[in-house]
Amino acid sequence: MTGAFVGGFVSVLCALAVLLALLAGRRPENGWSAWLRESLAAWRSDELKGADLRPRRSDVRDTPVEDIFSLGAPEDRPAYARPEELVARLDEVRGHARNVTRR
């Protein structure tokens, strides 16, 4: 049981070391505290209000169900395979596998 805790602790330490190495390589010019301050200020600005991000009703087009179904497989070819087609294909693959193993 102790070995599991030690192993878990070591793996957490390794993950932190990798994370710190990545953060050190991508450090902003002004430092992390300035970056965080600027990010929070941008997030709180009027530019990013939730109301502005929601689509207006006039921007959304109502699509009938028939249009959605028409995007599927063409009518001359079904989107599924019939059972006899699957059996024939499996037999073909098995025959090919037998021929390859005999060589």
User: From CA 93, how far away is CA 99, in angstroms rounded?
Assistant: 10
What pLDDT does residue 90 have?
A: 84
What pLDDT does residue 21 have?
A: 93
Structural domain count, the chain = 1
Q: 48 Cβ partners below 8 Å, 6+ apart?
A: 42
What pLDDT does residue 30 have?
A: 87
Task: Residue 80: give the domain boundaries.
Answer: 2-102
Radius of gyration of the chain (CA): 30
What pLDDT does residue 55 have?
A: 60
pTM of the full predicted structure? Answer: 0.37
Q: Which DSSP string do the residues of 74-94 spell out, in sequence order? A: -TTS-SS--HHHHHHHHHHHH
pLDDT averaged over 10-residue windows placed end to end, the chain, 103 residues: 93 96 89 88 69 58 68 67 79 83 67
